[in-house]
Amino acid sequence: MRVFSAASRDFSDPAVMKADSIHLPFQTPIAARVRGIASAAVRLVAHAFPSQCALCGNLSQELLCDGCDAQYWNEPRMRCATCALPLAASTMRRPREDVRAHCATCLEAPPAFNDTLALADYRAPLDTLAVELKFRARLAVGELFARHLHALFEDSGLPVPDVIVPMPLSRARLVSRGYNQAWAIARPLARMMRVRSDASIVARVRHTSAQSRLDQETRRRNVADAFAVSGDVRGLHVGVIDDVMTSGATLDALARTLKCSGARRVSNFVALRTPQD
């Protein structure tokens, strides 16, 4: 479904995070000087009072200390190339024409998306990072996820997408939260990949009830027709960014909508993946 209405374009505007709208009012030399002094002061304070690692609480200039950063992103997990579920050797399937490994479910009933890259399982302690990003507006977590997703992408052999889009929020949720946590990952990731990012291509046109309490089939019905495409995606390879992938039903519905609008390939980039339902 393609929607070309003024309303749908307006809808996408708040997808830009609140931080985007924080500008000094005047672009004058004095304003620039003030801004320079202010950012230097912020850097000075940051060095004088080092903050804590978001995971272990040790003193750290960065969001994660070196120890945590090295420990949690290098889990030796084999994942399904399509849905990123962890694969045990016994559940791994490898079709003859494909060098990548897949889970049995994706081979029997392939989802609408083609690929998923996930950094790690959604479990302690990394789940706290997703909570910080989603509910406490700790946008630096988005940058951290983006950096690691970029490294994972570089090693993946996947082709570079033509455009990067964040999983859209419904207007109501966007207004109540004030920012889209997926956009906080998508924008820096697109910059690192040197790919165009666009939060206005897809919109969430239907508010859906919380997915976590629903079974797989109900989830699928719950998100059908939840999205509308308002940009031209014909022939494009679209990269979809989300913070957490649970059942995959929402990403499947979005990919289905993109493919119905002519997208050639859809690749998901998610920070954390729930291992099982």
Enumerate binding residues for Zn ion (CB under 5 A): 53, 55-56, 58, 65, 68, 80, 82-83, 85, 103, 106
Nearest distance from residue 218's CB to Zn ion, in Å?
20
Nearest distance from residue 75's CB to Zn ion, in Å?
16
| Nearer CB in complex with Zn ion: 171/259 | 259
Nearest distance from residue 77's CB to Zn ion, in Å?
13
Nearest distance from residue 214's CB to Zn ion, in Å?
20
Nearest distance from residue 101's CB to Zn ion, in Å?
9
- 218 Cβ contact partners less than 8 Å away, ≥ 6 residues apart: none
d(CA 122, CA 174): 23
| Nearer CB in complex with Zn ion: 85/146 | 85
Yes or no: say if 223 and 247 are a contact pair by the CB < 8 Å rule.
no
* Burial profile 180-217: b = 16 or more Cβ within 10 angstroms, e = fewer: bbbbbbbbbbbebbebebbbbbbbbbeebeeeeebeee
Peptide bond before residue 159 is cis, with ω within 30 degrees of 0: no
The structure tokens listed for 228 are 């509308």
Torsion of CA 257, 100, 145, 36, to 10 degrees: -90
Nearest distance from residue 126's CB to Zn ion, in Å?
12
Nearest distance from residue 42's CB to Zn ion, in Å?
22
- 182 Cβ contact partners less than 8 Å away, ≥ 6 residues apart: 166, 167, 168, 169, 241, 242, 243
d(CA 166, CA 9): 15
| Nearer CB in complex with Zn ion: 83/229 | 83
| Nearer CB in complex with Zn ion: 79/187 | 79
| Nearer CB in complex with Zn ion: 85/163 | 85
Q: Where are the alpha helices (DSSP H) in 85-158?
A: 104-108, 127-135, 140-156
| Nearer CB in complex with Zn ion: 83/205 | 83
172 CB burial (10 A radius; 0-12, 13-18, 19+): exposed
| Nearer CB in complex with Zn ion: 53/190 | 53
d(CA 258, CA 266): 8
